């Protein structure tokens, strides 16, 4: 597939802050690419570099193999993170205004409908709720029916139903051939919409790929989390297999005994972690829940919640962000260590140069 959006070895600094460091990526025609990453990771700076609203210090940004500023604006749609249209225009007037900037724009009334604002068309922008304002902004970014659409946190502040409306809209645009680059802190959004996800941390692209691949690689295993009123030692589950096989099969039935044995084996094999008032079992199936609950109830231990979850993008994200943070700490630790070492060496050199007191 043809690359429509390309970044090659981008670097951008603001004073001492390195916002982007050696970032390369390409987004194919019709693809949805989601940028995720902690606050300050460089997502907005990357979007701004790709849309020509900031100039990188090094590297190149390309749209259809051209500098972003050289591209016909009618082919581009950009929703910045901060966007303040004129306040004293209604939602409809705003969309009409933005549509009027292009020779060939979408029908503003249809856009109003698409972003779920058909009923609020006559309300002044300043009187719309936060989520409604964001929807108008999303509408204004796509009113020219762009070939490439950049959306910086499109659904921030939008309620869950409205978010789904915007998701469907983005999906429909992509299905029609629009290439979409979006940033988001909503992992469900990235997982649902994106063909590929790129994770930025500290200005570097630390991972990219289809959500399913990132989840497989970094999302860990299925997890059972039980919040308990008191701290529970994982040792409580030691020797569970022996305890379960000692149960009288006649009492509970052969099939149930099988399930109990399988569950006991799983729990024995699971990694169990006691953290923050919760017991976490890694890599157990839902069938193990009953056996765990039996043990807790047998010991009279109260639990307040019980959650079984499959690996997802949020977990992969947290794992990758943790790794990136650990790498950063190690780097700054080793730099500090080197500096300390240099200071210590310099002091040592100085001490060597100075004659010992007694020799004076």
Measured from the CB atom, the residue of 10 and 292 that comes closer to ligand ATP is 10
Structure tokens at 91: 């939602």
From the CB of 315, what's the least distance to ligand ATP, in Å? 19
DSSP three-state, residue 325: helix
Asked if 209 touches ligand ATP (CB under 6 A), the answer is no
**Is the Cβ of residue 96 or residue 153 nearer to ligand ATP in the bound state?**
153
Site string for ligand ATP, 41-60 (x = CB under 6 A): xxxxx---------------
Query: Measured from the CB of residue 202, what is the shortest distance to ligand ATP in angstroms?
Result: 9
- The three-class DSSP label of residue 56 is coil
Our finding on whether 328 is near ligand ATP (CB under 6 A) is: no
From residue 75 to residue 104, the character string flagging contacts with ligand ATP as x (rule: CB under 6 A) and all else as - is ------x-----------------------
Question: Which region among 37-45, 130-138, 285-293, 336-344 touches ligand ATP (by CB under 6 A)?
Answer: 37-45
Rg (CA), the chain: 28
Structure tokens at 104: 């060939």
CB 261 within 8 A of CB 242: no
Report how far residue 256's alpha carbon sits from residue 297's, in angstroms, rounded to the nearest whole number: 18
Choose, by CB under 6 A, the member of 1, 39, 230, 359 that binds ligand ATP.
39
- Told to check if 40 binds ligand ATP by CB under 6 A, we report yes
* Contacting range for ligand ATP; rule: CB under 6 A; set: 32-40, 117-125, 255-263, 282-290: 32-40
Of the residues 2, 9, 17, 285, which one makes contact with ligand ATP according to CB under 6 A: 17
Q: Mind giving me the DSSP string for 159-177?
A: -HHHHHHHHHHHHHHHHTT
Q: Closest by alpha carbon to 49, among 22, 72, 30, 31?
A: 22
> How far apart, in whole angstroms, are the C-alpha atoms of residue 271 and residue 307?
16
Q: What is the largest CA-CA distance in the chain?
A: 94
Token reading at 129: 């709720």
Among 4, 5, 7, 19, binds ligand ATP (CB under 6 A): 19
- Asked if 33 and 199 count as a contact pair (C-beta separation under 8 A), the reply is no
Q: How far is the CB of 129 from ligand ATP (least distance, A)?
A: 21
Closer to ligand ATP by Cβ: residue 200 or 296: 200
Nearest distance in Å: CB 205, ligand ATP: 12
DSSP of 101-158: TSSS---HHHHHHHTT-GGGTTSBGGGS-HHHHHHHHHHHHHTT--SEEEEESTTTT-
**Residue 347 Cβ vs ligand ATP, minimum distance, rounded to whole Å:** 35
Total residues in contact with ligand ATP, by rule CB under 6 A: 12
Whichever of 37 and 162 has its CB closer to ligand ATP, that residue is: 37
Of 35-43, 71-79, 251-259, 341-349, which segment contacts ligand ATP by CB under 6 A?
35-43
Q: 225 burial class (0-12, 13-18, 19+ CB within 10 angstroms)?
A: middle
Question: CB 281 → ligand ATP: shortest distance, Å?
Answer: 33
Among candidate residues 277, 299, 268, 166, the one with its CA nearest the CA of residue 226: 277
- Cβ atoms within 10 A of the Cβ of 332, count? 10
Question: Which residues are near ligand ATP by CB under 6 A?
Answer: 14, 17, 19, 37, 39-45, 81
């Amino acid at each position: 597939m043809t690359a429509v959006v390309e970044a090659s070895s981008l670097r951008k600094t603001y004073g001492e802050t390195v916002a982007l460091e050696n970032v390369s990526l390409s987004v194919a025609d019709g693809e949805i690419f989601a940028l995720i990453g902690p606050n300050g990771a460089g997502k907005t700076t990357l979007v701004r570099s790709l849309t020509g609203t900031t100039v990188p210090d090094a590297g190149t940004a390309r749209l259809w193999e051209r500098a972003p500023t050289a591209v016909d604006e009618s082919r581009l749609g950009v929703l910045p993170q901060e966007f303040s249209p004129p306040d004293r225009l209604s939602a409809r007037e705003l969309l009409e205004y933005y549509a009027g900037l292009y020779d060939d724009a979408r029908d503003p009334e249809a856009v109003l409908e698409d972003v779920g604002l058909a009923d609020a068309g006559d309300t002044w922008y300043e009187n719309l709720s936060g989520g409604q304002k964001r929807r108008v902004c999303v509408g204004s970014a796509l009113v020219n029916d762009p070939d490439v659409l950049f959306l910086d946190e499109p659904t921030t502040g939008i309620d869950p139903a409205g978010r789904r409306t915007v998701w469907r809209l983005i999906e429909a645009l992509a299905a029609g051939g629009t290439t979409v680059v979006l940033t988001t802190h909503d992992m469900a959004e990235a997982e649902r919409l994106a063909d590929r996800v790129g994770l930025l941390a500290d200005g570097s692209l630390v991972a990219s790929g289809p959500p399913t691949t990132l989840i497989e690689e970094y999302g860990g295993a299925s997890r059972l989390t039980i919040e308990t009123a008191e701290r529970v030692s994982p040792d409580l589950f030691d020797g569970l297999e022996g305890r379960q096989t000692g149960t009288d099969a006649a009492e509970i039935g052969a099939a149930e005994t099988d399930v109990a044995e399988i569950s006991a084996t799983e729990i024995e094999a699971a990694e169990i972690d006691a953290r923050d008032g919760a017991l976490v079992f890694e890599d157990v199936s839902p069938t193990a829940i009953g056996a765990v609950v039996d043990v807790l109830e047998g010991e009279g231990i109260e639990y307040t919640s019980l959650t079984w979850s499959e690996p997802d993008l949020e977990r992969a994200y947290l794992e990758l962000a943790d790794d990136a943070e650990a790498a950063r700490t190690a780097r700054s630790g080793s730099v500090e260590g080197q500096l300390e070492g240099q200071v210590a060496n310099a002091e040592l050199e100085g001490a060597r140069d100075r004659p010992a007191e007694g020799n004076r």
